[in-house]
Structure 1
Amino acid sequence: METPVKKLVSKTLLGLIAPALIACGAYAQDIKERTLKFSFVQPQDSHMGFGAKKFADLVAQKSGNKMKVRLYPNGTLGGDLQTVSALQGGTIEITTLPPSLLVGLNKEYGVFDLPFLFADFKEADAVLDGPVGKRFLEKAPQGLVGLAYWDHGFRNVSNGRKPIAKAEDFQGLKLRVVQTPLMIESFNTLGANAVPLPFTELFTAMETRAVDGQDNPIVAFETNKFHEVQKHLSTTRHVYNPLIVLVSQKAWDGLSADEKQVLSSAAVETRAEQRRASREMEQKAIANIRSKGVTVTEVSPAERARMRERVKPVIDKFTRELGEDVVKPFHMEIEKVRASK
């Protein structure tokens, strides 16, 4: 017969052990054997690949190895926009990409491409991890479910013709840009000839000189071996790109509450480590591409301010189009961070 003391000890132990068991998935009763496809356009050894692998490992751990995430890097299942369509159709379950690529489905996501919005990572993280970022996760376009934000990095311009140290240096350059109106107008206003192309076509376009250059985070420049076709990189840091982790609504609706919790918690828990790895990769990438003969031109804060002044008409135009109610909360959160520095 169990004594009151034994009952108390048993209850206490259960209280301590149960949360740990639930965290590792041992108590998650409603989890089925299933494999989910995770498609992304960057290589496996990139910051995207790092995050996807960490996420897959956590999903396996949390589900007791019942839920498996199979990774498809390098755009093998299609470019970003194709992948979004596949998620909406339910043929691919998961992806990660810059949220501004969703602008064709919800124009408000264009706010993420406003030039020179964030000055540093601290500002970006504060906005994304706060109520503003949460609101954009919750308003993912139809057919998509937003789980978390990871890091893509500040975009920088490269080209095969000349260094870009000041605003005037953009003049006449044919630059591939992300397929969004805001990015197209921004580079055209700087004097470049903006050419919208899917990422999967970019390397060939630079190799054949269909375009002179492009803009991307430095890690993407290195892991995609752009140094083979680009000899100049400039630290313009004109746009900060997070990555939004998306799940197909069709796939999501077929999951149990326990399975949804596995994916949600894995995406959020991956966030800090992915950001750390991505930003460490950026520092190493700068040294690596220099060693491969790329001229890295550091753009001064003063010249960056001049670039921002040049694209101010574009910023103002798209702020009006997006709506003050969309853009103002970003600025308010950024000002809070700046006031605390």
Structure 2
Amino acid sequence: MTFSRRRFLQSTGAAALSAPAFLAHAQAPVALRFSSSMTADENAAHYVWYQRMQANLKAAVGDAVRLDYFPNNQLGKESDVVQQVKVGSIDMMVTGSSIWATVLPEIGMLDLGYMFDSYAQVAKAMEGPVGATFNDMLQKRAGCTILTWASHFGPRNVYTKQQIKTLAEIKGVKLRVLPTPAFIETFKIMGAIPTPIPFGELYMSAQTGVVEGFEHDAGTVLASKLNEVTKSCWQTEHLFSPMIVVIGRRSMERIPASLRPAFLKAVAESTQQERVIANEKANSAIAELKTKGMTFFPMSAADRSTVRKEMQSRLWADFARQYPATAPMFDSIAKIRAA
């Protein structure tokens, strides 16, 4: 049987009329450009979170929303990516919280020494009023949303050539630190000589004696083979640095409103999964460093109490005076720490 020309035109016309109704229900896939400064492997906290997010998002919304991952600073150095997330040319980024201090100086309080004693405390604070306050401030100032607060692979400790186990022994020791006021002042208060140098120069600097040690997390020490130039770790656990995922306003608006609850649920699930893996990675890195000859010395409770009191009376107090909005956040964190 063949259709007449009239019947053909009638049928195609009916299809054309119904197309808009169909398209109203069909939404084009949303691809979000997601930037990271780390490598794309299981030894990078950024990538571990991304992998879980991609899988959870796929299960929740299928192909309606996906993340296109750009590791190794492919989209630019972090300070530039921050600005691009603000304007929407890059949709999302995962990074340490400190880089956002260029936009929101108050968030720098999270880099002050001895603020937390565990990542469990970080999670409790960041999922409560402290995190909500930071998110509200960032939305108002930059139009960006902090989607989540995840974990790096363990706290930062002090690694040195010679054994150091007390505050008395750290006096006058030259340590490489991150070139930020929070890190520099933390180690000045502890009595060390903080020496800001680029991470890429750290191995040679420790090897040649430019510095006598450095502070970092165990996973990075292992991955960068820094155990070859230092043999002792004083477990100061001076910083439990949160890892954050930030999205710009325009990018959030690109996600259909009907899909946003599923998107945010996938975010939360990914963070819960990543925190467990991060803890496992931290413990396994320490275990492997021990097999390679690294010795570990926990910081005494007395030394920790002493240095925290110094931080509170000097560094934290100065910060709260400079940024009054942080004063109640310091109090909130203190209550969580004491609980």
TM beyond 0.5: yes
1:282-324 Cα shifts (integer Å, max 9, x gaps): 111111111112222222111222333444422322232222x
The alpha-carbon distance between structure 1 residues 73 and 34, as it changes in their structure 2 partners (threshold 3 A), is closer
Of residues 274-283 and 120-129 in structure 1, the stretch that sits farther from structure 2 once superposed is 120-129
Aligned to 2:81: 83
Aligned to 1:174: 174
1: distance between equivalents of 2:57 and 2:272?
A: 16
2: distance between equivalents of 1:80 and 1:198?
A: 15
CA shift for structure 1 position 108 = 1.0
Matched position secondary structure for 1:139: helix
Identical pairs, percent: 25
CA shift for structure 1 position 209 = 5.4
The alpha-carbon distance between structure 1 residues 337 and 235, as it changes in their structure 2 partners (threshold 3 A), is closer
Contact 1:99 1:243 in 2 (8 A): yes
Aligned to 1:65: 63
Of residues 182-191 and 306-315 in structure 1, the stretch that sits farther from structure 2 once superposed is 306-315
Aligned to 1:38: 35
Q: CA RMSD in A?
A: 2.9
Matched position secondary structure for 2:164: coil
1: distance between equivalents of 2:223 and 2:118?
A: 23
Matched position secondary structure for 1:118: coil
Q: Which runs of 5+ in 1 are unaligned?
A: 1-27
- Residue 146 of structure 2 is aligned to residue 149 of structure 1: no
The alpha-carbon distance between structure 1 residues 86 and 239, as it changes in their structure 2 partners (threshold 3 A), is same
CA shift for structure 1 position 66 = 4.0
CA shift for structure 1 position 267 = 1.7
The alpha-carbon distance between structure 1 residues 210 and 87, as it changes in their structure 2 partners (threshold 3 A), is farther
Aligned to 1:23: none
1:282-301 pair list within 5 angstroms: 282-301=282-301
Contact 2:36 2:46 in 1 (8 A): no
1:260-299 pair list within 5 angstroms: 260-299=260-299
1:21-32 pair list within 5 angstroms: 29-32=26-29
Code of the aligned partner of 2:124:
A
Contact 1:137 1:148 in 2 (8 A): no
The alpha-carbon distance between structure 1 residues 253 and 203, as it changes in their structure 2 partners (threshold 3 A), is farther
The alignment's TM-score, normalised by the length of structure 2, stands at 0.79
CA shift for structure 1 position 132 = 1.9
1: distance between equivalents of 2:77 and 2:221?
A: 17
Contact 2:187 2:193 in 1 (8 A): yes
Of residues 294-303 and 273-282 in structure 1, the stretch that sits farther from structure 2 once superposed is 294-303
The alpha-carbon distance between structure 1 residues 271 and 201, as it changes in their structure 2 partners (threshold 3 A), is farther
The alpha-carbon distance between structure 1 residues 338 and 187, as it changes in their structure 2 partners (threshold 3 A), is closer
The alpha-carbon distance between structure 1 residues 232 and 79, as it changes in their structure 2 partners (threshold 3 A), is farther
2: distance between equivalents of 1:92 and 1:197?
A: 29
Code of the aligned partner of 2:168:
E
The alpha-carbon distance between structure 1 residues 291 and 74, as it changes in their structure 2 partners (threshold 3 A), is farther
Contact 1:232 1:295 in 2 (8 A): yes
Code of the aligned partner of 1:322:
Y
Aligned to 1:326: 326
CA shift for structure 1 position 228 = 3.4
The alpha-carbon distance between structure 1 residues 295 and 329, as it changes in their structure 2 partners (threshold 3 A), is same
Contact 2:149 2:245 in 1 (8 A): yes
The alignment's TM-score, normalised by the length of structure 1, stands at 0.78
CA shift for structure 1 position 279 = 1.0
The alpha-carbon distance between structure 1 residues 268 and 110, as it changes in their structure 2 partners (threshold 3 A), is same
- Residue 49 of structure 2 is aligned to residue 51 of structure 1: yes
Matched position secondary structure for 2:195: strand
